[in-house]
Structure 1
Amino acid sequence: MTKGMENVREAVLNITNQLLHLKRPKNEASLKEGGEAEKIGYFPRDFGMEEWDWPQGVGLYGLKNLARDDYFPNYSEFIKDWAENQIHRGLPLKNINTTAPLLTLMDVENMENLALEWVDWVYHHAPRTKENGLQHVTSGDTKNELKLHEGQIWIDTLFMVVLFLSKMGVKYDNQAWKDEAVHQFNLHIKYLFNQKESLFYHGYDFENEHHFSEVHWCRGNSWFTLAVPEFIDMMKGQISEDKRQMIVKTYQSQVNRLVELQSETGLWHTILDDPDSYTEVSGSAAITAGMLKGMRYGLLDCSYLEVCHKSVQAILKNISEDGTVLNVSAGTAIGKEKEDYKRIIIAPTAYGQALAIVLLSEVLEHENLSVK
């Protein structure tokens, strides 16, 4: 094992330990003042693994990624205990974001019925937009409240729900679920992909026919970059070649544009094409992990390794001694103005920790990626 890979493994252990013990910001009270918490991205559920929502879903996904390397502890017991504890406490209302934990939990012992219940909800009962899009319903102020976001699709949905839907379709050989997953990918590309810029908008409003602030948000784009290699790999032989090519070509086009927009630091700006916006680690980690997965699954050639190397170096510099992943933008609802994205606070989050784990575990899959 090279010294560089030893350093990566040590970093992953520190990041993982911090994920499992992450607490809310010390200045929580001040963040809640003035009723502006949501506008600046302060959502209490984002910090640590105590809740059941999308940050914890990404956290579980990160922990599962470590199972490929015998160097790391087996976190399967933690994942099982976490799920059982959440069930005992009472699960949140079903919505797009609260589906995210099922991507990992569907493979956990005694969780089969729960996964089947949730996939049935996604397919038969989840609110829909025009053209049968999955409306991006999220949790409200509590886990027993909903924000409906009437008529809206968000790019986040592909990672939070559609990967689970396709994985369940393959596992149970359910053609309807597989077809639905493909439809959702096609629909989100159709309405969210800016062909001219080769980047994704955050969301689309079918009711008013607009893309809100038309922002090209880093973490939003990264959900697509990360989801596509996973989706294409799990759907081998399950998707027609023309639909596969459409998704892959969109992914490749986006990746090439992202390469052009990488900052001198190695990270990407939170508004990808606005160099005045701050550089952001969670989206950069997911973008880089998506590129590395794309190379590993044959969707990209090795010419992207240098871009990934530069990003990995930058992200390693944004990990504190205790394993906290720094410079992560907090939870981000769709902004009415581009400036709204620049006002999102920086704070350690469960998904920030997890996406760094996903990236670095992917680095360990690429022994030819030199890390100094």
Structure 2
Amino acid sequence: MRDMRSKLDLLVRGMTGLRHDGRFDEPNLDGTAGDYISFDSWEWPQGVGLYGLVCLWRHNRDPKLLKTIEDWYERHLRAGLPPMNINTTAPMMALALLWGETRDPRWETPLGQWAERLLRDMPRTPEGGFQHNVSDKINDDELWDDTLFMAGLFLAFHGRAAGRQACIDEAVRQFLVHARYLADPKTGLWFHGWTFAGRHNFAGALWARGNAWITVGILDLIENGGVGKPVEAYLLGVLEAQIEALLCLQAPSGAWHTLLDDPTSYEE
């Protein structure tokens, strides 16, 4: 246990100490410089990292870790948030989970406003899916795996914490619409994406990381999202089919190939 704690402490220090060195700039659509490296940025990698930190805090209740998380959010809210899209919603996911525990009044208004804008303004595909628009690209009429983790979980967590059933209902809708087009009934795996322009699954790419968003996302939606039993039963069936397929494709190293059904693709 002590060894595990020391490794987690090292991981937290490494994550919160990340700084951008200027080598990987990708300009955003609004002309600002993209930063997917530094812990100081507000983007999807930081959102995923913060979610891990909040989950760790829920387990260990470390006041120092809580202060690190709260200081990060306070600093960014004071400076002003970037334009809303799927990926810039990711940091809100961890904040919604945190607020559900602490009820800190600092977070209630920004969470509520972001959820309202997401419901009202996020571009939709046919059948009401969130179009996968991100900071550096508009993906017209496209559904991606990532959307469920980055934006679907936020709506569910916020809806449960705030008592807003409309948010939970929208999260459920997104999981169901995406499952309809991305879950492959033949293999049980999930395709990377779907485009309504041409109606296909992006060359049939079964992306490892995309499948990981789903494996984690379904479980976390059920555990923390307040969804009903029929939806829970349906999604667990989808998840079981996916996991059975994933176990058969695991490489000897314990990792998976980035294209799950292509053993010549790199492991990640």
CA 1:47–1:235 in 2, change beyond 3 Å: closer, same or farther? Answer: closer
Q: Is the 8 A contact 1:45 1:55 kept in 2?
A: no
The 3 A distance-change label for structure 1 pair 244 and 274 is same
- Residue 128 (str. 1) matches residue 124 (str. 2): yes
- Are residues 1:10 and 2:6 paired? yes
Q: Which residue of 2 aligns with 1:86?
A: 76
Q: Tell which has more relative contact order, 1 or 2 (C-alpha 8 A, sep 6+).
A: 1
The reply to whether residue 47 of structure 1 matches residue 43 of structure 2 is no
Q: How many angstroms apart in 2 are the aligned matches of 1:262 and 1:100?
A: 28
| Matches of 1:70 and 1:209, distance apart in 2 | 46
* Distance (whole Å) between structure 2 residues aligned to residue 221 and residue 22 of structure 1: 26
Instruction: Check 1:25–1:271 CA distance in 2 against 1; reply closer, same or farther (3 A cut).
Output: farther
- Equivalences for residues 216-235 of structure 1 within 5 A: 216-235=206-225
Distance 1:177 1:275, change over 3 A: same
TM-score (normalised: structure 1)? 0.65
Cα 1:235–1:139 shift into 2, 3 Å: closer
1:22 aligns with 2:18: yes
For residues 112 and 182 of structure 1, what CA distance do their matches in structure 2 show?
22
Deviation of 1:89 (Å): 2.6
Aligned to 1:370: none
Ranges in structure 2 where 5+ consecutive residues have no aligned partner: none
Structure 1 stretches of 5 or more lacking a match? 141-146, 281-372
Please say which of residues 121-130 and 85-94 is displaced more in the overlay.
85-94
Deviation at 1:77, TM superposition (A): 1.4
Q: 1:98 aligns with which of 83, 88, 91?
A: 88
CA contact (8 A) 1:24 1:44 kept: no
Paired AA for residue 124 in structure 1: R
In 2, are the aligned partners of 1:203 and 1:212 still within 8 Å (CA)?
Answer: yes
Match of 2:232 among 225, 244, 252: 244
Higher helix share: 2
Determine if contact 1:127/1:134 at 8 Å carries over to the other structure: yes
Instruction: Tell me the distance in 2 between the aligned counterparts of 1:271 and 1:152.
Output: 20
Count of aligned residue pairs for this structure pair:
258
CA RMSD, Structure 1 to Structure 2 (Å): 2.2
Q: 1:256 aligns with which of 224, 244, 251?
A: 244
What does 1:189-208 correspond to in 2, within 5 Å? 189-208=179-198
Cα offset, 1:67, TM superposition: 1.4
Task: Give 1:258 deviation, angstroms.
Answer: 0.7
- Once the two structures are TM-superposed, the CA of residue 72 in structure 1 deviates from its matched residue by 5.3
